[in-house]
Structure 1
């Protein structure tokens, strides 16, 4: 019942937002080049789809996001586990990892373009850099906070180091891992878009810059909506995987009286 009310509330808000987008600009007297209404944006989306530009660039951006997310998440898991199991390694490497995280990722994009040219690789590298940190820090924290009683119990049963990691430490980190993956799934979209904005000749980021250069505000909105849809689908895919993998965890009872 609560879920149905939440879904209905979300649907009402969506309809209200779309209605405001359709009639709000006209009521406020905004010209089309400032804020086109929903119908004009939909017409532009159809035109861009028919020419093939929207589909082609969307597929390229989606591929870059998937590859960057997968590689960044894998790197974050590996390094997070390694640092979690080795306090000495964490103390030695954490300042450099933190410095890499603090450095603005936009600043790396021109450098990667100079090294690798106008290809998909600079965008994927930016996505890897952005995805890596939230996954790594979540896994690291989870490995460090495993229940010591459970570790002692498994050790008392003469478990090997690999068995201890496989049966206790890594399963205990799965929930935190997926929390990091949720954040990373949206950041991957941002990373790829930044790369395409700075040095791209393909992808939705390039399409956005091209539309902006032509003064095509409706085209800019079409691109933004496409990127938003990709981000929502990426987040939903992580949530779906989380439910399949962590189905054994008890669910919190959020119902209120």
Structure 2
């Protein structure tokens, strides 16, 4: 007798999860609003949440907050896409060629070990105060997790599946497309999840080192003026950018990998 199909979480379960998450958010915001006053913490160290919201309104009107947010978002998206494509291409190439991996892996590892912050001033010297240094730093940070996940997935493909497709007279491209690449998709999206958050870090590092626009620039500007609320506004905006990017990857993963079974948990 076939096993019953597993059902996903019900509407009530989802509602409870969302409600619990919103309650935690409300608790966090309440502690942020009244906690500094209870602890006697001065405003220049930890401003209240309402003060940060007020400062966000001022920056929206006077400091072109939306424009700086858009520039940072553009740099994050471009750096994430280019770094992911590069990591995917190199991961596939090294996964299919052990000799190439043996030759190139020491240099790729050295590039990963080298601190990306050290490259940012160099890129600014080469390319000036443009968006390109920030995008390149993001590419360097995004590249490695995507590459290593794809490489590992290609190497661990079930050889029986490859042999089965070969018995059907499949070409080398068909073997890659139907077996190897599809088997690597879950690992690819795991790497993309990590890379989506790292892209924000890479862009922020570039803007902190040499930027005249973007949220990193607003962060440095607020620090220079001793405006702690402005610094928190920039941090919150960067966090929103990372959440949206991560959410986009999760949405794409669910659309692409909808055929994979989902684990379910039950409590009694």
TM range (shorter): over 0.9
Matched, 1:83 2:86: no
Aligned position for 1:35:
46
- Partner Cα distance (1:3, 1:197) in 2: 39
- Partner Cα distance (1:83, 1:192) in 2: 27
- Aligned CA RMSD, in angstroms, stands at 0.9
* Local SS of the residue matching 1:201: coil
* Local SS of the residue matching 1:158: coil
Task: List structure 1 segments (4+ residues) > 4 angstroms apart after TM superposition.
Answer: none
- Partner Cα distance (2:236, 2:127) in 1: 29
Q: CA deviation at 1:210?
A: 0.3
Structure-2-length-normalised TM-score: 0.94
- Partner Cα distance (1:256, 1:166) in 2: 40
Aligned position for 2:18:
7
Matched, 1:176 2:184: no
Aligned position for 1:194:
205
* Local SS of the residue matching 1:146: coil
Aligned position for 2:131:
120
Q: CA deviation at 1:5?
A: 2.5
Matched, 1:140 2:151: yes
Structure-1-length-normalised TM-score: 0.98
- Partner Cα distance (2:211, 2:194) in 1: 25
- Partner Cα distance (2:98, 2:172) in 1: 16
Q: Deviations over 1:223-245 (max 9, x none)?
A: 00000000000000000000001
- Partner Cα distance (1:217, 1:8) in 2: 31
Aligned position for 1:19:
30
Aligned position for 2:214:
203
Picking from 237, 241, 254, the partner of 2:252 is: 241
Aligned position for 1:108:
119
Q: How many residues align?
A: 257
- Partner Cα distance (1:62, 1:156) in 2: 48
- Partner Cα distance (1:172, 1:256) in 2: 32
What are the ranges of 5 or more consecutive residues in structure 2 without an aligned counterpart? 1-11
What are the ranges of 5 or more consecutive residues in structure 1 without an aligned counterpart? none
